[in-house]
Structure 1
Amino acid sequence: MSYLRNLLCGSALAWVGAVAAQAQPAAPRADFHQWAPSPPMGWNSWDCYGPTVTEAETRANADYMARHLKASGWEYVVVDIRWYVGNDTAHGYNEKNPDWNLDQYGRFVPAPNRFPSAAGGKGFKPLADYLHAKGLKFGIHLMRGVPVVAVQRRLPIKGTRLTAADIYTKDGQCQWLHDMYTVVPTRPGAQAYYNSLFELYASWGVDFVKIDDLSEPYHAGEIELIRRAIDRTGRKIVFSMSPGETPLADARHAQQHANMWRTVGDFWDSWEQLKEHFAVCARWAPYIMAGAWPDADMLPLGRLGIRAERGDDRQSRFTPDEQRTLMTLWSIFRSPLMFGGDLPSTDAATLALLTNPRVLAVHKASTHNRQLFRRGDLVGWVADDPRTGDKFLALFNAQDQEQAPASAAALAGPPISREVWQAPLDVDIAGAQKLYLVVRGGADGTAWDHADWLNPVLTDGVGKTLDLTTLPWRTASAGWGQATVGKSVSGGPLRVAGQTYAAGIGTHANSLIEYDVPAGYPRFRATVGLDQAAAGQNTGGTFQALVFTQSPLLPAPADSVRVPVALAELGLAGGATVQDLWSGQTLGAVSDEFAPYVRRHGAGFYRLVRRRLP
C-alpha cells in the first residue's frame, strides 16, 4: 500500500509540476514583429553542405560576410540541419547509426567533432560569440518535435518530473527524416519541453531559428508552443517556419506567430522552379507584413553542392539572366534573402547581384508590393517608395521554348501516379537518329514528380540489346535536381513500388534527356515509374513519360520582347523619369507608356519618378 501511495503521490507531484511549468506566463515584452522590421538577409549552409557543415566552414562564410556583405545589410549566419549528428552524410541522411549528441534533458547539442568549440558543454555559444564580435547574428536549424532517442531513453524534461515519453505521439511524424516524434501540445510537459529548448539556445546567443517540418503540413499547436517559448526567454530570436507551401488558410496564424514562413518546398537552381514562383509570389503578396514575411526560400546562387543533398559541386545552373530574374522577384516580393552558395567562392558577378544598393533598397523599404499584370509569360510587379511616392516596376519575360504536343511523340505513356505507379514502354524507333526521353509534370499542385526510367534498353527486336545507361547522353535537364544514372533524383536508390532497380535514370518533371541512337537498334524499351522518394514525402506526384524521335521543342521565341506598361496603370498619368535600378542609369522621360525590351528568362527593374509640374 505504501508503494502505491508513494507512486500516486509522485505522479500527482509530476502532474502539478508540469501544469505549473505550462501555466507560467510569458514575460511582457515588445511585439516580436519588431525583431525583423525588414526581411532577414543572411547565409544558410544547406545548399552547400547539406547536413555536414563544420565550424571551420561556418566561420569562413561568416568572415566573408563580415568583409563583403555586412555593409549591404546581410547579417545572419545559419547552421542548417543535423548539426547534432557527428557522422552524418552528404546526399542522404545517416539514419542507420547516427552519432547523436544531446544533453541530460533530451536537447540536441552540437557534435564536437564538427564544432570543436562546443566541447565541454559550451554548445554553440563560442561560435555565436565569434559572429557577434563581427557584428553578425547566429542562427540554427531545428526539427519540430521531441527527439526519438530522448523518448526511448525516457530523458527528463527540465523543471518537471515528466520525461520525453510523456509528451510525444508517433502520429504526424516527419516522413522524410525520422529524428523526432510529434509533441502533443495539450500534454502536461509539452510547453515545459519547448521552454527548456529555447532557454538553452538563448543562453548560447542564438538570434535566428529555422524550424523544419512545421508549416507543411501545418502544426498550429506546436507553433504556438514555440512562440511562447521564444517570448519567455526575453531574447529576440527570429522565428522561421519550414518547409512549404504553407497553407494559405493558415496565413493569418503564421503572421501572428512567426517572422517568416515558407511558400514553397526546397528551391534549387532550376528554371522550372523559378518560373513557378511567379504564381506563388502573386498568391502570397497580400500577406506581406512588416515583421512577418512570406519566404520564397533560399538563393541557390554562386558555388553550390559541395556536400549538398542535390547535385554535385557546381556553379549555379541559373544563367545570368535567370539570376537577375531571381534577385529582382525576391526583392520586389520582399522575400527574406538567404544566400545558399559558398561565400568564400563568390565571384564578382554574384557579389554584384547581392550588393546592388538600389535593388536592396526596394527589398528593404518598399510598400504595396504586388503583381501588376500577367500576360501569358510576361509579368509585371509594382511597389511604392513610401518616402517619395515614386514607383518601383519589375518586368519579367518568362517565355520558354514551347513543347511539342504529346500527339507528336513516338509514344506517350499513361499518367503515372499513386494509382498507377509504373508502366512498361515499348516503341518502334526504326530509322531514328535521335531519342528524346521526356517527362512532363501532371499539374497536381505538388512538386514531387520524381520519375525513374528503369532498365532502359535499345534492342534489335530479336534478342540483341544495348543498355541505354551505358551511353552518354547529349543533354539532360530536370525540373528539380539533376538527371542521374543509377540513382533517383533525390540521390537514393531507384526504388518504385517497393522494388529497387540497379539500372535506370532518375529525373524529375519537367525533364528532357537527349541521346544519339546507334545504328541497328530499331526499338526502345523501358519501365517508367514514380520513385519512392516522392511517395514518402507528399501525397501528390503525377507525371507522363513520352518518347520522341524528333525534337520535342517547337522553334524558340525571340531573345527579347517589348513589355509595355501604361503609366496610367501606375498612377503616373502625368509622365515620369525612368531609372534602371540594376545599372543605375537614367533612361529618360516617358509620357504615356514605358515599353522596354526584356530578355527571355530575364528581368528589368526600374524606378519611375513622377514628373513634377512646373
Structure 2
Amino acid sequence: MTFFARLLSATVLLASATAVPCRAQTAAPKTDFHQWAPTPPMGWNSWDCYGPTVTEAEVKANADYMAQYLRKSGWEYVVVDIRWYVGNDTAHGYNEKNPEFNLDPYGRFVPAVNRFPSAAGGKGFKPLADYMHAKGLKFGIHIMRGVPVVAVQRQLPILGSKATAADIYSQEGQAGWLRDMYTVVAGRPGAQEYYNSLFQLYANWGVDFVKVDDLSSPYHKPEVEMIRRAIDRCGRKIVLSTSPGETPIAQARHVQQHANMWRTVGDFWDSWEQLKEHFAVCSRWAPFIKPGAFPDADMLPLGRLGIRAERGDDRMTRFTRDEQITLMSLWSIFRSPLMFGGDLPSNDAFTLSLLTNTNVLAVHRNSTNNRQLFRKDDLIAWTADDPATGDKFLALFNAQDQELLPESEAAWASKVITRQTPGHSQTLDVDISGSTKLYLNVRDGADDIAWDHADWLSPVLRNGPQTVPLSSIPWKMATAGWGKVTANKSVSGADLLVAGRTYEQGIGTHANSMIEYDLPAGFTRFQATVGLDNAGAAQNTGGTVQFLVYTKNPFRPMPADSARVPVTLAQLGLRGACTVQDVWTGKALGRVTGEFAPYVRRHGARLYRISKAGTVPAK
C-alpha cells in the first residue's frame, strides 16, 4: 500500500468516526424554507474586492465592521466567495494551471488552511462561523455546482453510499469559465447522497447561507432539486442563493419554489451601462417577488473594490453619487437582496450613509406590490405599497444618456460577432481620407451583456506603403464600461487572444466602449481585424459584440442635467390631497393634489413616501 493510500485509509477511518449522519442531527425543520429569509437577505460578500483570494483575517475585519456599524440596520450575512479551498489561487483571475485543492476523504472541498488558519485540524469553517455567531452575525459560503473533478479522478467515496465520485458525474454541462467541477447526474446511485453529505458538512460547520454558482444560467433543474432536498434534510436553516444569471424566466416558478434568492443578471460591476440594464430586468422579474423568495439583482459594487478582484484594479466605485443613489433606490423598491461587495473597513462616510438609511431600508424590508409604474423612454417610475399604513412609495429615475448615432451613420460597421462567427472575427478596411477624427465604438450586440471582451487587432493607419500602428498613438478619450481600454493587451491585461490566435498589437476593450483619436494628417485608410476576445468567448453568457468606426462625432446633443418626471396621484390609486416625504432625507415636502412632478438629475433617483392628507408619514 502506498503512503498516500495508507494516509487516505486512515483519514477515511477518522472521518467515519467523527462524521455525524444527517439523521442524528436535530430533526429537519417543519417550517417552509421561505420563512428562513422572509425579507431580502442583507450582507457582505468577498468577491468584488478579493476575488478568489480572500483570507480569514480579511473576512473577520469585514465582519467586525458589520457588527459595529451595520448590524443594527439589518445587515447580518458574511459570505466567503469562490475557491476558499484553493491554497494558491491568484488575483484578477483563477489559478487553473496548478491549483492546490483541499478535499476531505469524501470528495468535499475544505478550507485552505494557509488562508483560513482556524480550519486546521479538520475543523473546517466551524471556528469562523462561531466567530460570526458570537457577534450576532450569520456565516455564508460560495460553492460551485457539481462534484470536484479531482474527486472523480481519485475515485473518492461518497459518505452514506457505496458509490464513488466517479459513479455520479458527467462532463456534460461543465462550466466553461472554471473547470473545477463535473455535473452530478440525478438518479444515479450516490448522486443525492453526495449533495446530502455536502450540506451535512456545512450544517456541522454552522453555515447559514450557501451561494451555489453555475446553477442558474444555464438552469440545472435536477441539481437545483437535489440541493433543495439536501438542505431540507440537513437540520439547519441554510438560505439558498443560486447564481449566476439571468435565470431563465421560464423557470421562475420552479426556482421560486426551491431557492430563497436567484440571480437575474450576470456579474454586475460599477458600470452605468450595466446599471441601466437593470431597469428592464427588474421590471421583468418583479411579479416573482414573494416573502422568502427574491429575484437577485446581484451584489452592490460600492465602496472600495478591486483590491484583488477579477474585474479592474484597486479603486473606489466608479459610480457617481447620483448613480449610487439610483442603485440603492432601485434595489430597495425592487426588494433585491443587498450583498455589499466593497471592503467594509475602507468605507467613507457617504458609503456608510447609503447602507444605514433607516427610511430607505424600511422600503426594502417592508414594502409590497413592488412594480414599475411606467417607463417613458429613459424616465422611469416604480411604486410599492406600505401595508402597515396604506402609504405609497414612489421611486423616480432619470436614466437619460447622450445617445449614439445609428449604425447607418457610421463609416463602417461589422456584422454582429458571436461565438458562432468563423474565427470570432471580421476584417475591416475603411476610407478615412480627409478625416481629422477617428472613433472606435463597440456595442453589446443587443444582448444587454456589457462585459464582453472585444479587441481591435493589428490596427493600422495607411497611406500607400506608409503605415502607423494605431496602438502606438495615444487616444484622446477612452471608455470601456467598468474596465480600462488597454494598448497591446486585452482589457483584462492578458494577451490579445482571438479564436486561438495571439496578436502582438491591438487594443483591448469592452462592450460598450468608445475610443476617440485625433488623426495625424495624410492617412487615407484604417485597417484592422476586429474580434471577440477569448475571455468573452469563454463566458456562459454574452459573447455578442458589434464594432463600428465613425469619422465624425458619434454622439447626439447631451440631454439636460435634470428632467421633470410627472406622476398623477390617480396613477398611484390615490385621490384628493396627499402629503409627500423625501425618503432619503426624511424631509416633509408638503401637500400635492392631482399631479406630482419633481425634477430628477440625469443618472439620479428620487424616492418618496406619499400619504393621504391628514395622515402622519411613518418614521
Q: Give the TM-score band, short-chain normalised.
A: over 0.9
1:458 matched to 2:458? The reply is no
CA–CA distance in 2 between the matches of 1:346 and 1:524?
46
For 2:490, the equivalent position in structure 1 comes to: 488
Most deviating of 56-65 and 431-440: 431-440
The 5-angstrom pairing of residues 97-496 of structure 1 reads 97-417=98-418, 418-420=420-422, 421-444=424-447, 446-447=449-450, 449-463=452-466, 465-496=467-498
CA–CA distance in 2 between the matches of 1:181 and 1:410?
47
**Partner SS, residue 257 of structure 2:** helix
Contact 1:22/1:188, CA 8 A, preserved across alignment = no
Following TM superposition, by how much is the alpha carbon of 1:469 offset from its aligned partner in structure 2, in angstroms?
A: 2.3
Most deviating of 507-516 and 152-161: 507-516
Q: For the structure 1 residues 142 and 538, does the alpha-carbon distance in structure 2 shift closer, same or farther, using more than 3 Å as the test?
A: closer
Contact 1:268/1:481, CA 8 A, preserved across alignment = no
CA–CA distance in 1 between the matches of 2:39 and 2:487?
44
Q: For the structure 1 residues 217 and 308, does the alpha-carbon distance in structure 2 shift closer, same or farther, using more than 3 Å as the test?
A: same
Contact 2:450/2:481, CA 8 A, preserved across alignment = no
For 1:5, the equivalent position in structure 2 comes to: none
Give the unaligned 5+ runs of structure 1: 1-20
Question: Which string of whole-angstrom CA distances, capped at 9 and with x for unpartnered residues, describes residues 98-144 of structure 1?
Answer: 00101111100011111111111111111111111111111100000
Equivalenced residues, count: 593
CA–CA distance in 1 between the matches of 2:24 and 2:328?
44
Q: TM-score, normalised by structure 1?
A: 0.93
Contact 1:128/1:205, CA 8 A, preserved across alignment = yes
Following TM superposition, by how much is the alpha carbon of 1:525 offset from its aligned partner in structure 2, in angstroms?
A: 2.0
**Partner SS, residue 254 of structure 1:** helix
Question: Which string of whole-angstrom CA distances, capped at 9 and with x for unpartnered residues, describes residues 466-505 of structure 1?
Answer: 3222333232222353333333335543221221222222
Q: For the structure 1 residues 186 and 448, does the alpha-carbon distance in structure 2 shift closer, same or farther, using more than 3 Å as the test?
A: farther
CA–CA distance in 1 between the matches of 2:32 and 2:465?
74
Question: Which string of whole-angstrom CA distances, capped at 9 and with x for unpartnered residues, describes residues 167-223 of structure 1?
Answer: 111111111100000000111111111111111111111111000000111111111
Following TM superposition, by how much is the alpha carbon of 1:429 offset from its aligned partner in structure 2, in angstroms?
A: 2.7
Q: For the structure 1 residues 403 and 503, does the alpha-carbon distance in structure 2 shift closer, same or farther, using more than 3 Å as the test?
A: same
Contact 2:263/2:295, CA 8 A, preserved across alignment = yes
Q: TM-score, normalised by structure 2?
A: 0.92
For 1:593, the equivalent position in structure 2 comes to: 595
Residue number among 506, 516, 523 corresponding to 2:525 in the alignment: 523
For 1:532, the equivalent position in structure 2 comes to: 534
Following TM superposition, by how much is the alpha carbon of 1:542 offset from its aligned partner in structure 2, in angstroms?
A: 2.7
Q: Which amino acid aligns with 2:293?
A: A
Q: For the structure 1 residues 354 and 28, does the alpha-carbon distance in structure 2 shift closer, same or farther, using more than 3 Å as the test?
A: closer
Q: Which amino acid aligns with 2:233?
A: R
Most deviating of 602-611 and 519-528: 519-528
For 2:64, the equivalent position in structure 1 comes to: 63
Question: Which string of whole-angstrom CA distances, capped at 9 and with x for unpartnered residues, describes residues 350-397 of structure 1?
Answer: 111111110000000000000000111111000000000000000001
Contact 1:92/1:492, CA 8 A, preserved across alignment = no
Q: Among the aligned pairs, what percent are the same residue? A: 74
CA–CA distance in 1 between the matches of 2:378 and 2:472?
38
CA–CA distance in 1 between the matches of 2:397 and 2:268?
19
Contact 1:22/1:190, CA 8 A, preserved across alignment = no
Q: Which amino acid aligns with 1:518?
A: P
Most deviating of 384-393 and 525-534: 525-534
When the two chains are superposed, the root-mean-square deviation of aligned CA atoms in Å is 2.0
Following TM superposition, by how much is the alpha carbon of 1:551 offset from its aligned partner in structure 2, in angstroms?
A: 1.7
For 1:35, the equivalent position in structure 2 comes to: 36
Q: Which amino acid aligns with 2:459?
A: P
CA–CA distance in 2 between the matches of 1:315 and 1:171?
40
CA–CA distance in 1 between the matches of 2:389 and 2:374?
24
Q: For the structure 1 residues 480 and 317, does the alpha-carbon distance in structure 2 shift closer, same or farther, using more than 3 Å as the test?
A: closer
**Partner SS, residue 437 of structure 1:** strand
CA–CA distance in 1 between the matches of 2:615 and 2:73?
35
For 1:557, the equivalent position in structure 2 comes to: 559
Most deviating of 256-265 and 61-70: 61-70
Contact 1:310/1:491, CA 8 A, preserved across alignment = no
Following TM superposition, by how much is the alpha carbon of 1:24 offset from its aligned partner in structure 2, in angstroms?
A: 12
Contact 2:478/2:485, CA 8 A, preserved across alignment = yes
